[in-house]
Amino acid sequence: MAVRLVLFGRQGAGKGTQAERLCAHYRAPHISTGEMLRDAAAEGSVVGKRVQVIVDAGQLVSDELMLDVIQDRLAHADVQEGGFILDGFPRTMAQAEALLGLTTIDVAVNLEVPHDIVVERMHGRGRADDHPEAITARLNTYETRTLLALAYLDRQGLVVTVDGIGEPDDVFDRLVKAIDSRVGVS
Ligand code: AMP
């Protein structure tokens, strides 16, 4: 059965790692908008260069561009057949609303790790956009904008919160349990 999941979590909550494991478990394509944007930036096109400046500053790329990217990706055959695990989208209320206009989703998982703990974790990561100003900007954006997207999906009854603290294997087990209870897989 194809699952259509959205994964929310502060940067550094372990979302990317868990998303990959969930993709293997549910045999669903991983859609990471951050990765797609980093690939676009690496190509060095005009759009890619503009994207890179925004990503490096820890700010959000425009909803308009993101919606084009996601609409295009959701139309691919692998997603049509295998569902998806969305990682890093939606990040704003407008993106969340638009997403529900494009597709149904089974569940949105909120991988909950408190602010102070993710700050500790992120300093060791070494990505180009992991300098202190960008980390702070991304966390602020999460609190001020992405939590509104999460609240919107919660009002639609789609959100389940999972404790993201602990060993990755334990967190993964919790995620699978929470997801299966929502999508009717035993
Ligand atoms: P991530 O790998 O998910 O942490 O994303 C890295 C960066 O890509 C973010 O800090 C944003 O600059 C940009 N980005 C990723 N997804 C989105 C989105 N849905 N909306 C706007 N910007 C995004």
Write out the DSSP string of the chain. Answer: --EEEEEE--TTSSHHHHHHHHHHHHT--EEEHHHHHHHHHHHT-HHHHHHHHHHHTTPPPPHHHHHHHHHHHHTSHHHHHHEEEEES---SHHHHHHHHHH---SEEEEEE--HHHHHHHHTT---TT-SHHHHHHHHHHIIIIIHHHHHHHHHTT-EEEEE--S-HHHHHHHHHHHHHHHHT--
Cα 91 to ligand 1 centroid, rounded to whole Å: 8
Q: Provide the pLDDT for residue 129.
A: 76
> Does ligand 1 lie within 6 Å of residue 37's CB atom?
yes
> Does ligand 1 lie within 6 Å of residue 11's CB atom?
yes
Cα 55 to ligand 1 centroid, rounded to whole Å: 7
Q: Provide the pLDDT for residue 186.
A: 44
Question: Where are the domains positioned within the chain?
Answer: 3-179
- Say if residue 83 is exposed, middle or buried (CB neighbours under 10 Å; 0-12, 13-18, 19+): buried
Q: Provide the pLDDT for residue 185.
A: 55
Q: Which amino acid does the sequence have at 98? A: A
Structure tokens at 34: 């951050």
- Given a cut of 70, the residues of the chain with pLDDT beneath it are 1, 124-126, 185-186
Cα 88 to ligand 1 centroid, rounded to whole Å: 6
- What CATH code would you report for 3-179? 3.40.50.300
Q: Whose CA is nearest to atom 4 of ligand 1?
A: 34
